[in-house]
Chain A
């Protein structure tokens, strides 16, 4: 049974189908949202919002995969919320809605994973986003071009520079 079927069942009120959907997608979306926002708490909020969007603003068609739809919405929501949060933080006088956002890096106990995360977050934002969408969102190069509204050639070059930079730093830090 594919996940669109589960989605359609869930829309009809099937709670076990909804649970299957959450079990299948929430963890992957957490990783994607976490990588994009750099915050565990913000990632949780993003994932919750995205899953509920399925009911509030249902996909217009079911041509692609549900995972594709979810990762696209997660990308947009994560960037929007990250920007909003940065805006609140820089206002200074106004407290953001949740001042105790847990940085993602603090949750990672494994040195190797933390090292890799630092490396990826040291990339230029444009390179990082392409790398994250490719490796953690399972997006094709063409999909990334559409999503980010940039030429396919730019996607390829950003991915190349991002990975190349990561490899050099991994070698320097002994993570290869």
Chain B
């Protein structure tokens, strides 16, 4: 026979089922459920509804998803292209630097004074050094 006549509010019971109650209230509900079959029955009904909602089967066929190998190949190609660009840029700089040195030497040998007027900054210092040697 039921000893308690006061039942727990339905909203509180639903919050308990949804695990959204504060821990102290949760304990209170659990203690009550041990003694109240009506509230326990209500909890069962709520849980059954939740099971129905969760079990809803709506999905159609999942799409065919092929192994995305193309993406990994793409990344390799991109990295390769980047490496080529950097290499090309480096070679370009090196060539330019070599040409520049050749020019300085030629200027220095042919017309030292003209070379000084045509160069500036570090280059001109370098040429001056060359002139001193000559």
Contacts and interface: CB of A to CB of B under 8 A. Distances in A.
Interface string B74-91: 000000000000000000
A147 B56 CA distance: 23
A154 B74 CA distance: 44
Given A52-B65, A160-B20, A175-B52, A34 B58 contact: yes
A18 interface: yes
Given A104-B58, A167-B46, A176-B48, A160 B67 contact: no
Given A167-B49, A170-B49, A176-B45, A55 B68 contact: yes
A135 B57 contact: no
B54 A135 contact: yes
Interface string A129-152: 001000110000100000000000
A21 to B, nearest CB: 9
A27 interface: yes
Interface in B51-77: 52-54, 56-63, 65, 67-69, 71-72
Contacts of A47: 62-63, 65
A35 B58 contact: yes
Residue with the greatest number of chain A CB neighbours at <10 A, chosen from B15, B46, B62? B62
Contact of B63 (A48, A156, A170): A48
Contacts of B54: 135-136
A117 B49 contact: no
Interface in A92-127: 102, 104, 107-108, 110, 113, 116-117, 120
Contact of B59 (A27, A102, A120, A156): A27
Question: Do most interface residues of chain A lie in helix, strand or loop, or is the interface mixed?
Answer: helix
Given A55-B72, A56-B71, A120-B53, A164 B14 contact: yes
A116 B49 CA distance: 11
A44 B63 contact: yes
A70 interface: no
A26 interface: yes
B60 A34 contact: yes
Contacts of B14: 160, 163-164, 167
B11 interface: yes
27 contacts: A11-B72, A15-B67, A26-B62, A26-B63, A31-B59, A34-B58, A34-B59, A47-B65, A48-B63, A48-B65, A55-B72, A104-B60, A117-B58, A131-B53, A135-B50, A136-B56, A141-B19, A156-B15, A156-B20, A159-B20, A163-B49, A163-B53, A164-B14, A166-B49, A167-B14, A170-B52, A176-B45
Interface of A: 10-11, 13, 15, 18-19, 22, 26-27, 29-31, 34-35, 40, 43-45, 47-48, 51-52, 54-56, 102, 104, 107-108, 110, 113, 116-117, 120, 131, 135-136, 141, 156, 159-160, 163-164, 166-167, 170, 175-176
